[in-house]
Amino acid sequence: MRTAPLLLAACLLGCSSSDDVAPASSADAGADVGPTVQVGCTGTSLLPLPADFGADGPWPVGARTVTLDGLTTEIWYPAAVGSDAGKSRARYDIRKHLPDAYQANITDANNPWIDCACTRDLPLDEAHGPYPMVVFIHGTAAFREQSLPQMTHWASRGFIVVAADHPGIQLHDLLSLLIGATDGGTPPKVDQAGDVRKLLAALAAPAGDAAFLAGHLDAARLAVSGHSAGGGATSDFGDVATVLMPMAAGGVTAGAKLVSTLVLGAASDGIVPPKSTHDGYASSPAKKRLVTLANAGHLAFSNICTIGAAEGGIVAVAQRAGVPVPSSLSSLASDGCGATQLAPADGWAVIDAVTSAALEETLFCSPTAAAELAKTKSRFADVAEYAEEL
């Protein structure tokens, strides 16, 4: 089967007119051709994307664990269509984020596996792209897979998504420090922003386990997002990123490359009060948008509330395994997980839609994203507040 010709759009980064994105058609109508190609910003070709930004895209999602400048890093990416046929989905093992002495206390049968809408080591879709990159920064006492639903959603819509375990602030390090476990030694100094700079430097010329991205990653089209402490770490990346998306954190500062900011918060956040989110939005440069989830807590922007939910939650699972979880981490690991609070999947539906629209408006030159974002409050009953300054 022949592939449809790739078309280019005369579009500048951040443009949004109706002429910026157009479907390509076969030069010989009626011929046996491959999927229609949708054109993003100049030089980018994509598979046709669903008009609903909350809907998963046309790509199966591949996943690879790599080491970049000493950082254990996960890469989720658009894989070749059909390459996942007959293959098992990936699963992540939460035990690997516990101190070594406690990992064996949880059996396979009792382990709250994290199922992924992705498949290990699929071939990258090299027929399209090059693909923009989204770097995600996890929060305090968390891990690279903490917001897995968003990672795979973005990858399914044509982004290469990168998240690392950040030394000193990841779950393993903080538990080791707080309960006196010795296997990890003294946790290193926390420098999430510096870690991200290392990732970006390593991916400027992908090599080693990341070599499969070489020639297919558009490093000039970059977004940085993060949750909680990781959201705070996004603040100063406007010098290299065109889109910033802090979640349950604050705002961002101006930067030479920054085009758009999406500030996300939760109305019932007991860790980062809504006022901090509002103040962060107010101090962020335009173009900017604010989305506040109704009846949602701090962890609405992660999958942590769903890990081991049937067994009482991630803290209960750890405690049954003999891990002496400090009260400070217990509250952090449960804020937003109450039975009467916003259900995780309902929150993710909003987050997927608004983040994808914010990403695609700038990184794919989407002509419809701005209008869809403006409808956020009327479209989603679970949104308490929407604001924008364009």
Tell me whether residue 28 is in a domain: no
- 8 Å CB contact between 14 and 27: no
Q: Is residue 231 part of a domain?
A: yes
Q: What is the C-alpha to C-alpha distance for residues 152 and 104, in angstroms, rounded to an integer?
A: 29
- Going by pLDDT thresholds of 50, 70 and 90, the confidence category of residue 373 is very high
Q: How many Å apart are CA 160 and CA 152, to the nearest integer?
A: 10
- Which whole-number Å values give the CA distances from 165 to 83, 209, 307, in the listed order? 28, 17, 18
Whether 383 is in a domain gets the answer yes
- Predicted pLDDT of residue 131: 98
pLDDT of residue 249: 97
- Structurally, the chain folds into a number of domains equal to 1
Q: How many CA atoms lie within 13 A of 176 on its CB side?
A: 21
Q: DSSP readout, 115-138?
A: E-SSEETPPB-TTSBPEEEEEEE-
Residue 7 resides in a domain: no
38 pLDDT band, cuts 50/70/90, is confident
Instruction: For residues 283-299, give the mean pLDDT.
Output: 98
Q: What is the CATH classification number for the domain harbouring 349?
A: 3.40.50.1820
**What's the pLDDT at 56?**
98
Alpha-carbon distance of 131 to 126, in angstroms, equals 10
pLDDT at position 182: 59
User: For residue 193, how many other CB atoms are within 10 A of its CB?
Assistant: 18
Give the number of other Cβ atoms within 10 Å of residue 359's Cβ: 27
Is the pLDDT score of 116 beyond 50? yes
What's the pLDDT score for residue 71?
97
> Are 271 and 228 within 8 A, CB to CB?
yes
State how far the alpha carbon of 291 is from the alpha carbons of 237, 238, 334, in Å.
20, 20, 22
> Please, are residues 45 and 128 in contact by the beta-carbon 8 Å criterion?
yes
Q: Which of 21-25, 226-230, 330-334, 382-386 has the lowest mean pLDDT?
A: 21-25
The answer to whether residue 11 is domain-embedded is: no
Structural domain that includes position 317: 51-389
How far apart, in whole angstroms, are the C-alpha atoms of residue 338 and residue 355? 24
Give the pLDDT confidence score for residue 179 in this predicted structure: 66
In a domain, 12, yes or no: no
CA distance 345 to 351: 10
Given a cut of 80, whether residue 236 has pLDDT beyond it is yes
Question: Which pLDDT value is given to residue 185?
Answer: 62
Structure confidence at residue 298 as a pLDDT band (50, 70, 90): very high
Residues 144, 145, 147, 151, CA torsion sign: positive
Helix (H) / strand (E) element for 346: namely: helix 344-363
26 vs 222, residue with greater confidence: 222
Contact by Cβ (8 Å): 116, 92:
yes
- Distances from the Cα of 339 to the Cα of 59, 292, 335, 352, angstroms: 34, 20, 11, 22
* pLDDT over threshold 80, residue 370: yes
For residue 124, the tally of other CB atoms under 10 A from its CB is 23
Assess if residue 26 is contained within a domain: no
In the prediction, which pLDDT does 7 show? 28
Tokens of 141: 């006492």
* pLDDT average, residue stretch 281-289: 98
Look at residue 375 and tell me if it is in a domain. yes
Return the ∠ at Cα 200 (arms to 196 and 204), rounded to 5°. 170
What pLDDT, on a 0 to 100 scale, did the predictor assign at position 330?
82
| pTM more than 0.75 | yes
At residue 30, does pLDDT exceed 60?
no
The SS3 of residue 294 is: coil
Q: Taking residues 244-257, what's their average pLDDT? A: 97
